[in-house]
Amino acid sequence: MGDVFLTKTRVEPGDFVEADGQRVLERFGELRALLVERAGPEAAALFAEPLVSRGNDEAAPTVSWYGEGSGEARPLAALEPAARDRAEAWLADHLRPLRALAEDPAHGELVLGALSVQGAGDVMVVDDHPVIVNWGLLPGGAGAHAGQRPEHYAATLGKYLPLGAAAVSAGASETAAASAPKLPPGMPPVADTAQGGGGPVPPAPSATRPGTVRAVPPIAWVPLVVLLLLAGLALLWILWPGNRLFPAYRAPVAITDADRLDAARALNDSLRERRAALQAALEGAVCRPDGVLVLPDGRTPEGLLPPAPGAAPEDEARAAPDAMLPNAPDRVLAPAPEAGAPRGTLLELIEARTVLVLAPNSGKLGVGSGFFVGPGLIVTNHHVIDGGDSILVTGPGMDAPQRARVVKRAGPLDRAGADFALLEIEDPGVVPFDMYLGDASLKLTNVIAAGYPGDVLQTDAAFARLQAGDLEAVPGLTVTDGVVNTEQRMGSVTNVLMHSAPLSSGNSGGPLVDMCGRVVGVNTFVRQGRMQNRGFALATGDLLAFLEGTGARPAVVSAPCAPVVARAAALAVEIPADTPPAQE
């Protein structure tokens, strides 16, 4: 999957362009391999990667588009003139090799299908490089491609890559051939005298011969043409938005653009408050003579009470759950699984209960994360497994990878207000996570996001072996820390936590855990900003509502977190008696 989410398009089934009887969008891997080999990787990167949601009886299909890069995606038309000129020059230069491919009988259908876009505004720009979205789609195309719709192509990508006559005529000849009348068996073909054919032409029927059909004069067609024109105008008036006797049905939307805007504003307000708090702590901090930095609340930046000057720190100490600097998860002690049992670290707890979710779909490999919520039961995001041909899960806490079946699902997020899927495997041995559901606010609480981001898996040797068929290879889990910036209601039914723990593609479905090892949310999507991305996790209250009626019954804890941190033994620091006190 590409690094940057570009846009999402709602389409009609008739909009999909076909090549050789198959939708062009479903041949993205073949198209990309062809362009890399024949036109170069930069030309291949011009075409955004599609993720098709097939829809249902009430919702039209949608296509999510992803591109390469790390910057913000902007429409080409929104750029400044100089930047737009550079992007258009790049687009024209790197589309040029596709002209020969479009005229190649072996690949012309696929390339002409890829050059078919919905409109003139279907070019985005990421990191100063153009990316084409909505390719493989034509409004009302009914399988047609750019070669069969030359006027539409000339108004879209034709501005950057004028097609040769061979490509356009090929599309037209295929259409004519498909619509040509079929001759009865045994009848010889009629010569085309307009093209200079020399074959025999049957004699014209005589007007005096019995049974002869007389030619219809052109004037006789006028009433029929007028009636068809009036019928077309009436149909156009009926279909025009606002003219229907009954409004068209539209599936309800759970999360609107206004809801997303409100969430962004709440996030900005929270970040301003966080900046003010950090500034106040910095201005009031005091460095003791023994080098220990103490904040205005009397604690260290890690949220620990400092030892007396000259005294060695304790081996274990309780930390504040909202410490300015989160403690490393390999130093935080997890609760003992049972009375008298040894305690492991928070990192070990998370690694044992988090899994990698693989969902192949039409030759592409969907990658996401998940975690145990019951014996053999795993939660992930609906969009991770949607459309998957089969589902495989693996993780450090499992003996071997296992096939999973979908027990329950809810999604997509913008329609259903939820994005969950419950998977079941045969291995019931992994202990599930506890869930936190309390009355206290989680704002500024330290959290850890766990999962398998795609940009990390690309360089993971174990993941490469797993893809090659080595089922004993388990990729390394990635954990990142941050704080909850704000809690927000999006729409009427969706509750989210916005946090600063870095996420990327592949973290979807992974747990967001507090410093006591309880799940507080399910990481679901990322909002990209100019300076930093912000992660969004669906709250545990929504998750527990989704799990009702299933075999997943995780323990629910409401007590506030009081993490225990193991500190390395340190020698007492002898401070001379005549050392002056620290100056504020």
- The pLDDT tens digits for 384-407 are 999 887 899 999 999 899 999 999
Among residues 441, 24, 34, 489, the alpha carbon closest in space to that of 255 is found at 489
Query: Residues 6 or more apart from 327 whose CB is under 8 A from it?
Result: 302, 303, 319, 446, 515, 563, 565
Q: DSSP assignment of 325-353, as one string?
A: SPPPTTTEEPPPSSTTPPP-BHHHHHHHH
Is pLDDT of 252 > 60?
no
What is the average pLDDT across 426-448?
A: 91
Report helix, strand or coil for 135.
strand
Whether the per-residue pLDDT at 6 is higher than 90: the answer is no
pLDDT in tens, 458-489: 899 999 999 888 988 999 999 999 999 999 88
Three-state helix/strand/coil letters over 48-105 = CEEEEECCCCCCCCEEEEEECCCCCCEEHHHCCHHHHHHHHHHHHHHHCCHHHHHCCC
Average pLDDT over all residues of the chain? 81
CB atoms closer than 10 angstroms to residue 524: 27
Domains of the chain: 4-174 (no CATH), 257-325 (no CATH), 333-566 (2.40.10.120)
Which range has the worst mean pLDDT, 149-158, 216-225, 480-489? 216-225
Residue ranges of E strands in 491-578:
494-499, 511-514, 518-527, 534-539, 556-557, 564-566
Q: State mean pLDDT over 374-387.
A: 94
Residue 137 is classified by DSSP as: B
User: What percentage of residues in the chain have a pLDDT greater than 90?
Assistant: 34
Query: What's the distance, CA 414 to chain centroid?
Result: 13
Give yes or no for residue 362 having a pLDDT over 80.
no
CA 20 to chain centre: 28
Q: What is the pLDDT of residue 190?
A: 37
Higher pLDDT, 372 or 531: 372
Q: Helices (DSSP H) in 381-424: which residue ranges?
A: 382-385, 413-416
**The pLDDT of residue 398:** 92
Q: At a CB cut-off of 8 Å and minimum separation 6, what does 347 contact? A: 328, 329, 330, 332, 479
Q: What is the pLDDT of residue 338?
A: 66
Does residue 270 or residue 89 have the better pLDDT?
89
88 by Cβ neighbours in 10 Å (0-12 / 13-18 / 19+) ranks as middle
What's the whole-number mean pLDDT along residues 39-57? 84
| pLDDT tens readout for residues 103-127 | 888 988 999 989 999 888 899 999 8
Sequence letter at residue 38: R
pLDDT higher than 50, residue 193: no
Range from 253-262, 379-388, 503-512 carrying the lowest mean pLDDT: 253-262
pLDDT above 70 for 211: no
pLDDT at 206 over 60: no
Top-confidence residue, 464 or 217 = 464
Region of 363 (left: φ > 0; alpha: ψ -120 to 50; beta: rest) is left
Q: CB–CB of 483/278 below 8 Å?
A: no
| Residue reference for tokens 């036109």 | 39
Are 161 and 95 in contact, with CB atoms under 8 Å apart? yes
Kindly calculate the radius of gyration of the chain based on its CA atoms and give it in whole angstroms.
32
Is 0.85 surpassed by the pTM of this model? no
Whether the Cβ atoms of residue 122 and residue 130 lie closer than 8 Å to each other: no
How far, in Å, CA of 444 to CA of 564, rounded? 18
**CA 527 → CA 411, 453, 477, 534, distances in Å?**
19, 15, 22, 5
Is the pLDDT at 65 greater than 80? The verdict is: yes
pLDDT tier at 557, thresholds 50, 70, 90: very high
